[in-house]
Structure 1
Amino acid sequence: MPANFPEIWLGRIIQNLDTSDIAPFLNGIAEIAADVVQINQGQLSEKNKIYVPSTEFEVDVLINNTTYPLAVQTYADGTIEITLDKYQTKVVTLSDDQIIGASYDKIDVVTKSLIRSILVSKFKKALHSIAPQTNTATTPVMAATGGTAALADPDGRLRLVYEDLVAFKGLCDTAGFTEEDRRLVLCNEHWNDLLLDRKNFGNQLVDYAAGKPAPMIAGFELQKYTTAPIYTAAGVKQPFGTIAAPTDTSASIAFCVNGIAKKTGLTKQYFVKAENNPANQTNDLAYRHYFIVTPYQNRKIGAIR
């Protein structure tokens, strides 16, 4: 086995994490240009943090002023502290016979499950983190109505219809969502609801050649993700990883792209060579990866459940 084999593995998994296809709903969300700060490195309390400047300062404008000197308005700003989520794989053991003579192809095969697990976990957590906790004036959460006909699926769930999208747009208007970058990530149920709406809206709503909703509907850029946050019947977001109860529903999540923070932190490798593990003669490998997607503030986010 090459002496630098562990270093090759680390370089390869970082490359795969950075170049693998990302969840479409994250497209256009810029990586924050902030340095990652390691807190308590090497300890159980180790964290990756970033610090982002923030301001809501707006200058007061005087119209037809005749009073001098002009009043002074002091500039105010602040800093948002963001702690990155920590993703850890379980230890994967490989016999020495499997490792000897490994090439890049071998490395890809062995690390595939590690990479997939990290990607899936962090994308699920990302959408859940964006979703609002409950309905407020700045974080609208509404229930699909099924329209005037109260259309429902076989389980009795009211379907998402175009009228719901328009109503939700109004809530987002009132909540101060910027108009140019509104994105709505549809859950599977709502995606399928819109695919059934051909009779009323035809190709205005659905691009049947591709089998997908049109990219822009009711002012929202539509995206899709297979795993959605879960809300209770009272409209409260369930904790991440909760198994849905019979009365819970999946939700489609809305946000303004410029109101979302994304940051990739450090990737660490933990590796023990077989030569240092005489009892099992296995190479033990695990990874730790830091990543976060979160709203800058509790605003410009919403949900349809």
Structure 2
Amino acid sequence: MKSKFFAKIFGLVCMMLTAVTFNAAAGATLAVAVGCAPGAGAVAGNVLALVGGRLAPAGALRAGVLKEIWTGEMIKAFRTAPEALGWLQRIRSYNQYVENDVIHFTEIGGDPAVLVNNTTYPLNITALTDADKPISLDKFDTEATPVTDDELHAISYDKMASVQERHRDALREKIAQKAIHGIAPDQNATDIPVIKTTGASDGTRLKMTYADLLNLKRQFDKMGVPGKDRILVLCSDHVNDLLETEQKFKEHYNMNPTDGKICRMYSFDIYEYDGTPYFTMSTGKKLAWGAVPAVTDARASVAFYAGRMMKAYGSTNFYHSEASKDPLYHRNLVNFRQWGICLPLTSTKCRAAIVSAPQTA
């Protein structure tokens, strides 16, 4: 009897020590992320858990998984972009202007008239009325992931960290795809060029060549776009076209492990990204966001001037329900919400696209 009692006490002590270790580690991690001493974070993590009555073993997902810790970790990791999204990192962040997941711009009302050699008085009075232009950030939600008590009991790795990483990566990819879609022109227009490829046919479309890249440079020069911070995001089809046909590009093709840049050519910093939007090859028109591409559609390459683009991230929310409140399945449910947006600051003279032309008969 005594042995069972002491065994139970020993088990509780082990659980308590495990919980303290978990909360201390989580608190220290967040403290380092915000620039504080890890020791203070370790203490704060356990204090928060104790105040909420949340001390429990590691891996036991619950209201006491220190929601603030997981949210803080998500924000830090989300805003440290991976190599493949170096082009997105070149765009200026407007996070400081976000209020309640809305960003406010001032729409300039116009310029005053200028009179030359005027002899008529009194002068006319022209009001210059500026206006607030609020833009709501896009809302991105991940679908909930179940994490059962049975899983947490059996596994030997940090399931919550694994779930968080996969949700973060899925959010980041979707936001990047929405960003490059918003930057790309809808169709060819004045000072918003959509260039068709002119290379040899691959059986479906015409391949991209250096002549097309030079044409893009010519269009940017004509629009007066500064030579610095010109960004070209090539889709994989166009990268492969150039690797196959252009020896110079093949020699320069070298993914930079720091920012993902392939090279700099014809005044463009060139990146590769396979999440660029689809265009209809025959019309050169961009498909709507979320539209399913047909065989007559192909991914396009997108060029832009970083100085006239903006991005902003709003709030990050962590949601979960507890297994202890689920008598039927004994499972926790976890998902995240991220607010964010990326758009051109002006519609013209700052962006373009290269679209594969369809094979001609």
TM-score range, shorter chain: 0.7 to 0.9
Q: Does 1:37 align with 2:99?
A: yes
1:259–1:295 contact (8 Å) kept in structure 2: yes
Using structure 2 for the length normalisation, give the TM-score. 0.69
1:31-64 per-residue CA deviation (whole Å, 9 max, x = no partner) reads: 11543233xxxxxxxxx211023549779999xx
Alignment of 1:216 with 2:277, yes or no, is no
The one of 291, 314, 321 aligned to 1:272 = 321
Q: Distance in 2 between matches of 1:211 and 1:98?
A: 39
Q: 1:58 to 1:179 in 2, by over 3 A?
A: farther
- Aligned partners of 1:88 and 1:286 also within 8 Å: yes
Is the aligned partner of 1:120 residue 2:181? no
Extract unaligned runs of 5+ from structure 1: 39-47
Aligned to 1:145: 198
Distance 1:209 1:295 in 2: 28
> Partners in 2 of 1:138 and 1:194 — Cα distance?
26
Whether contact under 8 Å (1:59, 1:73) holds in the other structure is yes
- Correspondence for 1:162: 210
Cα distance, 1:25–1:211 mapped onto 2, change above 3 Å: closer
The answer to whether the Cα contact below 8 Å between 1:182 and 1:219 also exists between their aligned partners in 2 is: yes
Query: Distance in 1 between the 2:77 and 2:155 partners?
Result: 17
> Could you list the per-position Cα deviations for residues 168-193 of structure 1 after superposition, in whole angstroms to 9, with x for gaps in the alignment?
22223333433322111101111111
Name which one, 1 or 2, has greater alpha-carbon Rg: 2
Identify the residue that residue 5 of structure 1 maps to in structure 2.
Answer: 65
TM-score with structure 1 setting the length: 0.81
- Structure (1/2) with the larger helix percentage: 2
Q: 2:292 aligns with which of 243, 248, 272?
A: 243
CA root-mean-square deviation: 3.1
The Cα offsets for residues 68-88 of structure 1, whole Å up to 9 and x where unpaired, read as: 999998766544432211111
Deviating more after overlay: 205-214 vs 123-132: 205-214
Looking at structure 1, the residues matched to 354 and 333 of structure 2 have their Cα atoms a distance apart, in angstroms, of 44
1 CA distance for matches of 2:255 and 2:81?
Answer: 24
1:104 is displaced (CA, Å) by 9.0
1:45 equivalent in structure 2? none
User: 2:277 matched to 1:229?
Assistant: yes
Secondary structure at 1:50's aligned position in 2? strand
Deviations 1:176-233 (A, max 9, x none): 433322111101111111212335xx3xx44357379962222222111112211112
Structure 2: how far apart are the matches of 1:76 and 1:206? 53
Tell me whether 1:255 sits opposite 2:255 in the alignment.
Answer: no
Partner SS for 2:204: coil
Is the counterpart of residue 207 in structure 1 residue 251 in structure 2? Answer: yes
> Are 1:184 and 2:244 matched, yes or no?
no
Unaligned regions of 5+ residues in structure 2, if any? 1-18, 20-48, 55-63, 356-361
Query: Per-residue deviation at 1:283?
Result: 1.3
Change (3 A) 1:12 1:222: same
- Structure 2 vs 1, CA of residues 181 and 14 (structure 1 numbering), >3 Å: closer, same or farther? closer
Note the C-alpha offset of 1:108.
1.6
Q: Do the aligned partners of 1:207 and 1:214 also contact (CA within 8 Å) in 2?
A: no
Preserved CA contact (<8 Å) 2:252 2:263:
no
Counterparts of 1:293 and 1:286, CA distance in 2: 23
2:187 to 122, 134, 143: 134
The 2-side partners of 1:58 and 1:152 are apart by: 50
* CA offset digits 1:145-189 (Å, max 9, x no partner): 11xxxx222x23111111111222222333343332211110111
- Give 1:66 shift: 7.2
Report the Cα distance in structure 2 between the residues aligned to 1:258 and 1:178, rounded to whole angstroms. Answer: 9
Task: State the shift of 1:301 in Å.
Answer: 1.4
**AA aligned opposite 2:329:** N
Cα 1:161/1:58, change in 2 over 3 Å: farther
